[in-house]
């Protein structure tokens, strides 16, 4: 059986995390990787090192913040889009899309939105609306699509260790959750939740209060599968060992494995 492992990883600074990325690629050998929060300009992206590891890559960097990339093992991703349509004035590098290994992959870094309420939360919701519009087009295209990334949304109270201290956070607001629900209502399958319908599963643990050591996490990195890909899922998971490394990102790589012809 041929399979594809597709992963999303908020790397939180690709320059400071390059050794960790190399180690993870070597050990887990994902076929397609979506990276977020590069925190690097285009000319500082370590393409040479990534290609030496056997991956083709495209990226959209930005000074200090944001930045997204798609890696594909043994091939160059064919870029189909950078930036979400719908707002020419949006200068954040938060979306890149490509075809690789027979699948269309959208790599997204949805705005955090804190503090809430305020202009940052307004921007989050506006960006989410644009994503919903674009996702509908992808869905209607009939192509096999994975929409993967850091959504900065905790979909339900089952996706966080304890919502009590997060009730005012942008990640848990009813408006954020409603956008995520509307996106899923187009038909997409939330791979991790489909694989683990009843379990607590987290993808992010903040650096405060020993939250990693206590497994006080949030599930905010998601992989959404189009209609024809959903029944092809053979497994999904979180590479938690990456979060346990010294100087780790606060997110762990999150992945789905699909059966392909």
Question: In this complex, which beta carbon is closest to DNA, that of residue 40 or of residue 179?
Answer: 40
Question: In this complex, which beta carbon is closest to DNA, that of residue 110 or of residue 138?
Answer: 110
Under a CB-based contact definition with an 8 Å cutoff, are residues 42 and 61 in contact? yes
51 binding DNA? (CB under 7 A): no
Judged by CB under 7 A, the residue of 8, 93, 152, 173 near DNA is 152
Question: In this complex, which beta carbon is closest to DNA, that of residue 51 or of residue 209?
Answer: 209
Distance CA 111, CA 157 (A): 20
CA torsion 172-173-174-175 (nearest 10°) is: -120
63 binding DNA? (CB under 7 A): yes
| Known catalytic residue at 151 | no
Which residue is catalytic, options 31, 55, 150, 159? 150
204 binding DNA? (CB under 7 A): yes
114 binding DNA? (CB under 7 A): yes
208 binding DNA? (CB under 7 A): yes
Question: In this complex, which beta carbon is closest to DNA, that of residue 63 or of residue 214?
Answer: 63
Number of residues in contact with DNA, rule: CB under 7 A?
32
State the minimum distance, in angstroms, from the CB of residue 198 to DNA: 23
Question: In this complex, which beta carbon is closest to DNA, that of residue 229 or of residue 248?
Answer: 248
Judged by CB under 7 A, the residue of 26, 209, 228, 231 near DNA is 209
| Known catalytic residue at 150 | yes
203 binding DNA? (CB under 7 A): no
Q: What are phi and psi of 229, to 5 degrees?
A: -85, -30
State the minimum distance, in angstroms, from the CB of residue 158 to DNA: 16
115 binding DNA? (CB under 7 A): yes
Three-class SS of the chain: CEEEEEEEEECCCCCCCHHHHHHHHHHHCCCEEEEECCCCCHHHCCHHHHHHCCEEEEEECCCCCCCEEEEEECCCCEEEEECCCCCCCCCCCCEEEEEECCEEEEEEECCCCCCCCCHHHHHHHHHHHHHHHHHHHHHHHCCCEEEEEECCCCCCHHHECCHHHHCCCHHHCHHHHHHHHHHHCCCCEEHHHHHCCCCCCCCECCCCCCCCCCCCCECCEEEEECCCCHHHEEEEEECHHHHHCCCCCCECCEEEEEEEC
Which residue is catalytic, options 55, 95, 109, 202? 109
Q: Would you please indicate which residues are annotated as catalytic (active-site) residues?
A: 109, 150
By the criterion CB under 7 A, which residues form the site for DNA? 10, 12-13, 15-16, 37, 39-41, 63-65, 111-112, 114-115, 120, 150, 152, 165, 169, 171, 204, 206-209, 218, 220, 247, 250-251
């Amino acid at each position: 059986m041929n399979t594809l492992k597709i992963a999303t990883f908020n790397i939180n600074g690709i320059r400071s995390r390059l050794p960790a990325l190399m180690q993870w690629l070597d050990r887990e050998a994902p076929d397609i990787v979506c990276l977020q929060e590069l925190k690097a300009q285009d000319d500082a992206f370590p393409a040479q090192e990534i290609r030496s590891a056997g991956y083709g890559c495209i990226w959209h960097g930005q000074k200090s913040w944001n930045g997204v990339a798609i890696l594909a093992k043994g091939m160059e991703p064919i870029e189909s889009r950078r930036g979400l349509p719908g707002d020419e004035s949006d200068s954040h590098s938060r979306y890149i899309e490509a075809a690789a290994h027979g699948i269309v992959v959208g790599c997204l870094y949805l705005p955090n939105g804190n503090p809430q309420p305020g202009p940052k939360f307004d921007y989050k919701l506006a960006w989410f609306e644009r994503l919903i519009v674009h996702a509908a087009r992808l869905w209607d295209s009939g192509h096999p699509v994975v929409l993967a990334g850091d959504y900065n949304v905790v979909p339900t109270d089952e996706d966080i260790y304890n919502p009590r201290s997060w009730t005012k956070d942008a990640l848990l607001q009813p408006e954020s959750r409603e956008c995520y629900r509307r996106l899923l209502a187009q038909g997409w399958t939330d791979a991790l939740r489909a694989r683990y319908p009843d379990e607590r599963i987290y993808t992010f643990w903040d650096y405060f209060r020993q939250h990693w050591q206590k497994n006080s996490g949030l599930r905010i990195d998601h992989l959404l599968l189009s209609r024809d890909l959903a029944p092809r899922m053979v497994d999904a998971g979180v590479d938690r060992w990456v979060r346990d490394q010294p100087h780790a990102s606060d997110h762990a790589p999150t992945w789905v494995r699909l059966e392909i012809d």
